[in-house]
Amino acid sequence: MPDRFNAAEYLVDRHVECGHTAVVTSRRTLSYAELAEQAHRTAAGLRELGVRPEERVVLSMADDVEMLGAVLGAMYLGAVPVPVSTMLTPVELATLLVDSRSRVLLASVEFAAAVQAAVELAPEIDTVVLDGSVDFSPRAGVTVHSWDDLMAVGTLETPYSTWVDSPALWLYTSGTTGQPKAAMHRHESIRAVGTYYGNGVLGLGPEDRCLSVSKLFFAYGLGNSCFMPLAAGAVALLERSRSTPELIATRAAADRATVLFGVPTFFAATLASGVPDDAFSTVRQGVSAGEALPAVLFDKFRSRFGVEVLDGIGSTEALHIFLSNRPGEAIGGTSGVPVPGYEVEIRDEAGNPSDTGDLFVQGPSTATGYWCRNDITREVFQGRWLRTGDTYRRNEDGTYTYLGRSNDMLKAGGVWVSPFEVESRLLAHPDVEEVAVVSATDESGLQKPVACVVPVHGHKVDEDALISWCRDGLASYKRPRAVVEVAEMPKTATGKVRRNVLRDMVKDVLIPSGPADDR
């Protein structure tokens, strides 16, 4: 018989007797005992609604006690919580509702309009639970409950007898292949995130207070604000509103955050803001993931705010970070070294070990596959190894440097060019706030680098100056052949640059309307 293990019981119930604070929001503070009661009541309420073990429950919710309790309560019941992005359109949300075969949808009132429209397109949804009072008129056949209704049922005192390999949660991702698909994770994977990154890299303990820019519906945010702090008996600081530099700085100071989890876009925006230099004085460690953190942002943030930011790489399929810098030893512009418990391997186009090529990872938190996506599962999950879709270089000191998504790499003069390398150079220019380098076709039909630049407020883009800047700091063939000013970067719901949009925007920029130039 497999070993019995329930992730929600592990995260919360074993800390009940300590009397320690578990979660702090802008509205209230809960101890571990109170969070356990929230989870147990949610589990009992879901069972009353007919939710069975291993049945999916979709969560379209803001970061607050209800959202955290829903994730934990569903797992406690043996059901499978499916947190989804609150930025989805009704059609996009309906697509995930249908794909997951869910009957029950838990939602926050901020998103009621989108949820109501999505339910119209998702015939299997028959129950909606809202975390507050709001006008909500779903189609016939859908029953609407309040959160108070869910909490009033009672408590589930004993967790469902899940095993280490029982399904714990699904997380939808476009990942390496474009179309949304659900990565299926085990209960044991959750313990692994807390053990190997939370403890093994960050050394989290009960005295820590974790604040995350990324929300709970992201794999990264879920680890930052649930799995890792609760596994360590620490405090999760939840913020219901959109994470702006000013708001995060205020919360960090007011709630004495000790670990700050962000993404490169946030760190760049904070540097460009008027946030006081001592705003993060209580923070002992910064962490960045989602995209590679350019060395210039790493240096500037540490210089101004006194916080070392550990850049790392993770994925929804791996559940959290598996390559990371180490506290006190971070090297800007790299993703560090493998997290304890994980192995990485770089392979060339023929599948042979190489110092530069596609990055593969294996470790204790990788998903078991994608729901109902057999062909893609076989392509991405290869035996013990997960193909990340990222291109990396292994450095002589053992660290790893991100070169770009495998399908974002481009050739210039027959030589591979890393967009990230060119972007890092451009970000060091005082006129550049954000940049993304994509390819465009020139008049000869060849692919060349083009830089799309958001200038620093009050500055202008000088194309010749920026191209010259790149010539001075990079091999000549890596220089952008054109620089295009954009007001803002098009981004996905997770804050990643939508390079396909940029490629379409600049597709004709290298084709001269007059006599051919020497680009």
Alpha helices (H) along 170-287? 187-192, 219-222, 228-231, 245-254, 264-271
Q: Determine which helix (DSSP H) or strand (DSSP E) holds 86, and give its type and residue range.
A: none
The domain defined by 1-19+34-163 folds into: Rossmann fold (3.40.50)
Q: Tell whether the torsion through CA atoms of 178, 413, 431 and 263 is positive or negative.
A: positive
**Mean local confidence (pLDDT), 492-507:** 85
C-alpha torsion angle, residues 332, 338, 340, 342 (rounded to 10): 150
Quick one: pLDDT at residue 158? 95
pLDDT tens-place string over residues 407-449: 777 766 556 688 888 999 999 999 999 999 998 887 766 678 9
Quick one: pLDDT at residue 415? 65
Helix/strand/coil for 410: strand
CB-based contacts of 162, cutoff 8 Å, min separation 6: 4, 5, 6, 7, 53, 75, 78, 168, 187
The pLDDT > 70 percentage for the chain reads 95
Q: Does domain 409-505 have CATH number 3.40.630.30?
A: no
Find, among 323, 313, 311, 253, the residue nearest to 283 by Cα: 253
pLDDT band at 69 (very low <50, low <70, confident <90, very high): very high
How far apart CA 318 and CA 423 sit, in angstroms, is 26
**Mean local confidence (pLDDT), 486-511:** 87
Asked if pLDDT for residue 516 goes beyond 70, the answer is: no
Instruction: Please give the residue that has the higher pLDDT: either 104 or 349.
Output: 104
CA distances from 314 to 49, 193, 218, 344 (A): 35, 11, 11, 12
Which residues is 405 bridged to in the sheet? 390
pLDDT tens-place string over residues 370-420: 999 999 999 999 999 999 989 999 999 999 999 877 777 776 655 668 888
Other beta carbons less than 10 A from residue 14's beta carbon: 14
Choice among 242-246, 263-267, 396-400, 452-456 with the minimum mean pLDDT: 263-267
The domain defined by 180-407 folds into: Rossmann fold (3.40.50)
The pLDDT > 90 percentage for the chain reads 81
Across all residues in the chain, what is the average pLDDT?
93
**Mean local confidence (pLDDT), 169-198:** 88
Model pTM score: 0.85
Asked if pLDDT for residue 515 goes beyond 70, the answer is: no
**Mean local confidence (pLDDT), 126-134:** 96
Quick one: pLDDT at residue 409? 73
Q: Determine which helix (DSSP H) or strand (DSSP E) holds 430, and give its type and residue range.
A: none
Asked if pLDDT for residue 519 goes beyond 50, the answer is: no
Find, among 153, 148, 103, 110, the residue nearest to 128 by Cα: 103
Quick one: pLDDT at residue 175? 45
Quick one: pLDDT at residue 178? 52
How far apart CA 332 and CA 326 sit, in angstroms, is 11
Quick one: pLDDT at residue 86? 92
pLDDT tens-place string over residues 186-211: 999 999 999 999 999 999 999 999 99
Q: Determine which helix (DSSP H) or strand (DSSP E) holds 392, and give its type and residue range.
A: strand 385-394
Per-domain residue ranges of the chain? 1-19+34-163, 180-407, 409-505
Quick one: pLDDT at residue 414? 58
Same fold for the domain at 1-19+34-163 and the one at 180-407?
A: yes
